[in-house]
Amino acid sequence: MMILIKVLQCWIRNDEPVNFPEITINSIPSKLMLHVSSTSGTGQKCLFAFIMSLHNLRYVIKLWGISLDAVFEANVNIILYFLGQICIFSLFHLKYNNTFVEKVEDLWNDFQIEFDNETRKYFWTRKVFYYSATVFSKICYLIYDMSKTYHNWPYSDSEKLRNEVDYWFGVIRLAIIYPFFICQDCILFDLSITAETAIEYIESQSKRIYKESLKDEKALHFKVIHDLRLKYLQTHRLANKMNEFISPCLPVFLLIYMQHFIYLVYLILFVQQSQFLLISRIIACIGAFPVTIVYIYSTAQVYKKSQQLLMTVYKLSLKTDYLKALNEITLFVNCNEIGFSLGGICMITSSAITTTFSFIATLIIAIPSFAR
């Protein structure tokens, strides 16, 4: 945590830290989530079950108040949010465990690029950016939730007093759930940054070789290309391992944030409300939209950089007539792209950001028809 603050301070002073710490995904958020993972002890598993119960108890309490004689009205927004949170917590509990983290760290350590300070700088500067976006988003959400808590104070009138139990369960839920939300976001960003950093290192090395080949064709040696290709294949294995976790998680994350953003836009535009609630909902919208785009951007960067790397390697083929080196370059260029998938359906590419914008804009335009 201190290195994040240190890098942020250096940005403000327009300075740069001399030494960056080693790269690892086993950060503080990761360690906290591993305490309640499927490979933790019995006590930690009971803690996870207790937290899940507290998180969802308010929805169970609401079911008690439903009369069998009354017409049942389902709130789609609450149902989607409830199911999304169940999926996210279950995925983190089952998939993000000690076995997964150890395997990812072993694959990362196989690169043996910890000596490179530029690689560390690339990792930590992006980590500060993504973490800052997460904190900003959660502050906006916290302001919104605290505003609702203040507005729904049960002792202000007799009508609100009926929901006293639900109110206090909601307060307890907020105190527990926000640390989990922040940890989940940070873990997802850590994984995508690590994969992006590995590709960035290979690309920087290939660019260096290309510049040297402009001066001396002998710099383009077979062994150099071979080593880069092996590191690319290692990166492919690393990204594939990470994708086992990111692929099912990312669609649920996007569904939760986009659904909440659209719902808030609907409330802002079409529901009569006090100025106090209106401002709090606008703040929540400001927090929901950027983090949705940052999710897509961080994962799409892995695919984008792998494409840039393959293009740089292709340029190397124009700088040598050495058959053995050309064969190695051909094998390199014919490698599959590296990237994360969206629920195993499609690869998250650079155009995913535009598609996300278009999808959100379409839903916002369609809100008036739903409002009728």
pLDDT digit string (tens) for 111-140?
877 677 888 888 888 888 898 888 899 999
325-338: per-residue pLDDT in tens?
778 778 777 877 78
Give the model's pLDDT for residue 283. 92
Question: Which residue pairs from 177-182 have beta carbons closer than 8 angstroms and sit at least 24 positions apart in sequence?
Answer: 177/55, 178/138, 178/142, 179/32, 180/33, 180/51, 180/89, 181/138, 181/141, 182/29, 182/134, 182/135, 182/138
Q: What is the mean pLDDT of residues 194-212?
A: 87
Give the model's pLDDT for residue 363. 67
54-83: per-residue pLDDT in tens?
777 766 665 554 444 444 455 667 777 778
% of the chain surpassing 70 pLDDT = 80
230-263: per-residue pLDDT in tens?
888 888 899 999 999 999 998 888 888 888 888 8
Does 290 or 188 have the greater pLDDT score?
Answer: 188
Give the model's pLDDT for residue 368. 57
Does 213 or 309 have the greater pLDDT score?
Answer: 309
pTM of the predicted protein model: 0.86
* Residue 260 Cα distances to 79, 274, 330, 350, 358, angstroms: 12, 20, 47, 24, 17
Name the pLDDT band for 3 (thresholds 50, 70, 90): low
Q: Is 250 within 8 Å of 342 (Cβ atoms)?
A: yes
Give the model's pLDDT for residue 190. 92
Residues facing 347 on adjacent strands? 341
Give the model's pLDDT for residue 80. 76
Name the pLDDT band for 101 (thresholds 50, 70, 90): very high
Domain boundaries, the chain: 40-371
Q: Which two tokens stand for residue 52?
A: 């899940």
- Model confidence at 103: pLDDT above 90: yes
- Model confidence at 179: pLDDT above 50: yes
Lowest-confidence pick of 86-90, 106-110, 207-211, 217-221: 217-221
Whole-angstrom Cα distance, residue 243 to residue 193? 13
Whole-angstrom Cα distance, residue 199 to residue 204? 9
